[in-house]
Amino acid sequence: MKRFGSFLLKTIVRGALIVIPVYLAILLLLKAAASVIGIVHPIAKLLPPWFPAADVLSILLVLVVCFLIGALVHTGMGRAAKKAIERSVLEKIPGYALIRTLGHRATGQAGDSAWQPALIEIEEALVPGFIVETIDENLLTVFVPSAPTPFAGAVYIIARTRVHPLDVPFTQAIKSISRWGTGSRELVAAMKPPPPVP
């Protein structure tokens, strides 16, 4: 009974880690849309009464603003402003740095070795995970996610010789973990030998 209770709790937490961020994103989008209804109301009056013009136009306005901000951060001034806001505000929010790094990895923007997919030797098994950082020439920090929720798991400080980087995209490793290991054959085939210890 205790084992079933533990399984039930873990399963609920894993599901919540997927559902809650999606729910919050939708909630924030709708809240932002509701706050700009007053701006689009004069235009909405010009459209037929059967069409929910105020709602549609307010959501479109929020999406356009998101697009413009996304385009702005590709400019030099926009990147500088983004970094300043991240340093002063966003990085103080728990979990922001993790979500940013994972987002960069998922979209192929990360240029460093952080969150590189790897197979890690834990006891007598190879476990899919990610290299988080290099501590020194002998030690690495790795994150081993739990399936099927790749954003919950355990952190290990482990010998570099027990970590085998993978020559696969970040998204492929995440997909395999979220599918309870389906596609592990490709991960094993992409395993690179560990670098020699100096």
- How does pLDDT run across 146-155, given as a tens digit for each residue? 877 777 788 8
Tokens of 41: 């109301």
Tokens of 178: 């979220």
Instruction: For residues 47 and 39, give the distance between their C-alpha atoms in angstroms, rounded to a whole number.
Output: 15
Quickly name the fold that domain 116-189 has: SH3 type barrels. (2.30.30)
Q: Give yes or no for a contact between 117 and 126, defined as CB atoms under 8 angstroms apart.
A: no
What are the residue ranges spanned by the domains of the chain? Answer: 2-106, 116-189
Instruction: For residues 185 and 15, give the distance between their C-alpha atoms in angstroms, rounded to a whole number.
Output: 26
Instruction: For residues 163 and 131, give the distance between their C-alpha atoms in angstroms, rounded to a whole number.
Output: 8
At residue 166, the pLDDT reads 87
At residue 115, the pLDDT reads 79
* pLDDT tens digits for range 40-75: 777 767 777 777 767 777 878 777 877 887 778 778
Residue bearing tokens 């951060």:
73
CA distances from 60 to 13, 52, 53 (A): 33, 12, 10
DSSP run (H or E) holding 52: none
Tell me the chain's radius of gyration from C-alpha atoms: 22
At residue 134, the pLDDT reads 86
Task: Please state the φ and ψ torsions of residue 130, each to the nearest 5 degrees.
Answer: -140, 140
At residue 39, the pLDDT reads 76
**pLDDT band per the 50, 70, 90 thresholds, residue 38:** confident
Task: Please state the φ and ψ torsions of residue 28, each to the nearest 5 degrees.
Answer: -65, -40
Task: Answer whether residue 107 shows pLDDT above 60.
Answer: no
Q: Which of 140, 65, 134, 149 is nearest to 102 (CA)?
A: 149
**Residues written for the chain:** 198
Q: Report the pLDDT averaged over residues 26-44.
A: 74
Task: Answer whether residue 83 shows pLDDT above 80.
Answer: no
